[in-house]
Amino acid sequence: MTPIPSNGRLASLFLDMLAAERGAAKNTLDAYGRDLADYLEAIEGPVAAVEPAAIRAYLAGLSARGLAPSSAARRLSAVRQFHKFLYAEGHASGDPTASTAGPKRGRGLPKILSVEEVDRLLATAREGADNPDASPGSRAQAVRLLCLVELLYATGLRVSELISLPRAAARARERFIIVRGKGRKERLVPLTEAAREVARRWLDLSGARPGPWLFPAESESGHLTRQAFARDLKALAGASGLRAEKVSPHVLRHAFASHLLQNGADLRIVQELLGHADIATTQIYTHVLDERLKGMVRDLHPMSTGG
């Protein structure tokens, strides 16, 4: 039987995810770490088995301690995200925060990259992969990074789905792959020709490595880790002239969705491609487009006072 990770280990895994998938800065990670340490100290027993009543008791305790509503709301946000992570990753059978009410806070718009910025990332990655002066090892790493970025922008996969792709994904004759996402639900995701071509190129370079993964690595899972990919992606961003803190695997997933919608894709199709269970999650990208459209009208309309 697989041992159940300790509360501290689960919190560490959550913070690793924030750093790798969302590109959280050190100050943000430190704040989350303090909030979770306070929460884990207050609860009794395994955090994966916490009941909604314990969440409500914790929030009541925050109020009794005199925390400002904004601070309590931040703590609740950290606890919510932590429990959603535990449920999504299969460490818990449910999310005890789902029915917990808290102060309403506006949802921030996702960070996105422009088409031009993504083009710069890909161009820099291609230069590295095609560098004739690179050593075989360096070239293999560069081709792997190009493959990861091409696949991520072409499919909008979650980073956990991307790094755990099977080798068969690069061998598929069809122009799509089957992805197993949250809740072990499967979905079809089409591939661009550029993504298929670089995946085959990477497979040719890594074909001698054993194992079932497209991106094998010396790690506990046997495949590339979120942290390693996020680190390489930030280095690529810097080489492309972009701010490293602006680029993360999750931001490229956002770019995939927003660029599709910007070019007229149907919202429900984008929902299916992203693997969102609720279309309301996908609708956040329409707000991004709304802001862009408002800016276009303000700047370009002949009757605009800003024109």
Residue 186 has φ and ψ, to the nearest 5°, of -100, 145
What is the rounded CA–CA span in Å between residue 220 and residue 110? 31
The closest alpha carbon to 268, from 292, 250, 251, 285, belongs to 285
Phi and psi at 78, nearest 5°, equal -65, -45
- DSSP of 176-200, one letter per residue? EEEEE-GGG-EEEEE--HHHHHHHH
Cβ burial, residue 222 (10 Å; 0-12/13-18/19+)? middle
91 an active-site residue? no
Give the active site residue among 75, 158, 196, 234.
158
Residue 285 catalytic? yes
Q: Would residue 182 show up in a list of annotated catalytic residues for this protein?
A: yes
Q: Which of 91, 250, 254, 259 is catalytic?
A: 250
158 is catalytic: yes
Return d(Cα 251, Cα 89) in angstroms, integer. 20
Q: Among the options 196, 234, 254, 276, which is catalytic?
A: 276
Which of 226, 253, 254, 259 is catalytic? The answer is 253
Catalytic (active site) residue 276: yes
Q: Which of 80, 111, 182, 231 is catalytic?
A: 182
84 is catalytic: no
Residues serving a catalytic function are 158, 182, 250, 253, 276, 285
